[in-house]
Chains A and B, each alone.
Chain A
Amino acid sequence: MQGFAVEFSAAIALILNGDPELWAIVLLSLKVSIFAVLISALIGMPVGAALAVARFPGRRVLIILMNALMGFPPVVVGLLVYLMLSRSGPLGVLELLYTPTAMIIAQVVLVTPIVAALTRQVVEMLAEEYSEQLRSLGVSRLASVPVLLWDARLALVTALLAGFGRAIAEVGAVIIVGGNINHVTRVMTTTIALETSKGNLALALALGAILIGIAVAVNAMVSTLSLRAEREGLRHA
């Protein structure tokens, strides 16, 4: 076990000394997951908010379905996206398989239900709180969506972070649709899987430590931003 500790610190040193290949991998991970979360926000937030305020038959079923999709196995998502993007699939002509775009698509499929479900919950509570006020102003349910989303923005940051956490840590889907191609689609998690399969456990663990570091840094950054926004909001009020 002592040999492992030595190997592990050697691997950490290698990483911190700024191996350019490794940092390119870190950067690609961030770009793919941030892009995926932004797209998921654009889709998931309006859908979640609409589900929170609209009343129509089948709404409960949709909500249950959406909540269940939060636990969709990444490998299954990877397979579905692969079947769509494969040259023998319906979108094969787009030539997107084994590109970062394919990985973004897979992560959007994984993250959107999380953003939508959490948005629905937050907005529904807020809508209840505001219901009399909105009614007295004569605002229709769907028209109140932008207002509610804006007032819930701080809570929604948490929804985005949850989505980001799922995206950046995910390996099963991106390894299928990205192919773990060196310099093209190799991200942190697929590198960790590759190094583990080579038996380089210390290096794999060191990469895992970096991945955790990134997650902590992103969370800290966003929570600082939202805290500052909250203070500014209070000052203006």
Chain B
Amino acid sequence: MIRNFLRAALVSLGLFAGPAFAEEPFIVVQSTTSTQNSGLLDSILPWFEAETGIDVRVVAVGTGQAIRNAINGDGDVLLVHATADEEQFVEDGWGVERFDVMYNDFVLVGPKSDPAKVKGGSNIVAALTAISEAEVPFASRGDDSGTHKAEIGHWDAAGVDPAAASGTWYRETGSGMGATLNVASGMDAYALTDRATWESFGNRGNLEVLVEGDPRLFNQYGVILVNPEKHAGVRAAAGQRFIDWLIGPDGQTAIEAFQLNGQQLFFPNAK
């Protein structure tokens, strides 16, 4: 009985080992949660895969982690949103060249009761100053992601050191955008989020968009081929093909066509 069971198990595992490990052309893209959680990549990648037969495997983590993974060579293409860090990545020789892909914007969300009275404003620095003065809960990514870096920049501009208030009104979740929004929703905290993640987020609770439209909330995405001279395993040809497609007319059109709740979330701007 048991022997038969084990035999059946081994046979089924043998079947599994075949197709799952078969070689087919693919690339690994290190990207951010916003491109995946919003559904953008699920929407545009089938176009590329149908055209080229190259399977695109997306690892969606924060920008900081994506860049570190790419430095380790664990990815062929980097698609993230922290321009200064991306340029540094190329300058340090880890990437070949950086290209603009698309943009959207960050928004400040917070509870409808709005204890810091920032609703309707379009000045992110003034809003953050008001939040720090009111000492009302603010949920920060705290994970070295693109959004976190952008948030830190705005606190700097406001002349506030939120780290000093860490654990009181300033709550660093150390996790992804969605997890941070879940925290903000649970404790009626303010949070800075990219618009794509916000639009696709299903657990808003009392939260709503309070501040938007500040030019400083601009959110640029870039794409970089990981340098094959640094890591011999990088699938450079297939990776370059993906980049050419993404910043070419077909990819840009696919990005433009992606909508969620009747709203365009990413705006192609490759040069």
A interface vs B, CB < 8 Å? Answer: 31, 34-35, 38, 86-89, 92-93, 95, 97-101, 153, 179-182, 184, 194, 196-201, 225, 228-229, 232
Given A92-B73, A101-B21, A181 and B58 contact (CB-CB distance below 8 Å): yes
Chain A residues with CB under 8 Å of B60's CB are 180
Contact: A88 with B202, CB < 8 Å? no
Partner of A86, one of B9, B59, B73: B73
Contact: B21 with A99, CB < 8 Å? yes
A225 to B20, CA, bound (A): 29
Contact: A199 with B182, CB < 8 Å? yes
* B231 contacts the other chain (CB 8 A): yes
A20 to B172, CA, bound (A): 38
Chain A residues with CB under 8 Å of B42's CB are 182
A11 to B207, CA, bound (A): 24
Contact: A98 with B59, CB < 8 Å? yes
* B101 contacts the other chain (CB 8 A): no
Given A86-B73, A181-B58, A225-B5, A100 and B182 contact (CB-CB distance below 8 Å): no
Partner of B179, one of A100, A196, A228: A196
A100 to B21, CA, bound (A): 8
Contact: A97 with B74, CB < 8 Å? yes
* B28 contacts the other chain (CB 8 A): yes
Contact: A197 with B59, CB < 8 Å? no
Among A88, A180, A197, A225, the most chain B Cβ lie within 10 Å of the Cβ of A197
Contact: A196 with B73, CB < 8 Å? no
**Min CB–CB distance A61 → chain B (angstroms):** 34
Contact: A34 with B179, CB < 8 Å? no
Interface residues of B in 170-192 (CB under 8 A from A): 176-179, 181-182, 185
Encode contact with A along B222-243: 1 for CB under 8 Å, 0 otherwise: 0000000001011000000000
14 contacts between A and B (CB under 8 A): A31-B20, A87-B72, A87-B73, A87-B233, A88-B231, A93-B233, A101-B21, A180-B60, A181-B59, A196-B182, A197-B179, A198-B202, A199-B202, A199-B203
Chain A residues with CB under 8 Å of B9's CB are 34, 38
Residue of A nearest to B69 (CB): A86
A68 to B28, CA, bound (A): 36
Question: What 3 A-B pairs have minimum CB-CB distances, sorted nearest first?
Answer: A197-B178, A87-B73, A199-B203
Chain A residues with CB under 8 Å of B50's CB are none
Chain B residues with CB under 8 Å of A89's CB are 72
Partner of A197, one of B5, B74, B177, B231: B177
Contact: B231 with A199, CB < 8 Å? no
Contact: A201 with B28, CB < 8 Å? no
Encode contact with A along B1-24: 1 for CB under 8 Å, 0 otherwise: 110010001101100100011000
Chain B residues with CB under 8 Å of A31's CB are 12-13, 16, 20
Contact: A179 with B57, CB < 8 Å? yes
Contact: A184 with B202, CB < 8 Å? no
* B206 contacts the other chain (CB 8 A): no
Chain B residues with CB under 8 Å of A199's CB are 178, 181-182, 185, 201-204
**Min CB–CB distance B132 → chain A (angstroms):** 27
Residue of B nearest to A4 (CB): B203
Residue of A nearest to B71 (CB): A88
A32 to B33, CA, bound (A): 25
* B259 contacts the other chain (CB 8 A): no
Given A184-B57, A197-B176, A100 and B1 contact (CB-CB distance below 8 Å): no
Residue of A nearest to B233 (CB): A87
Chain B residues with CB under 8 Å of A194's CB are 37
Partner of B74, one of A35, A86, A229: A86
Chain A residues with CB under 8 Å of B269's CB are none
Chain A residues with CB under 8 Å of B178's CB are 196-199
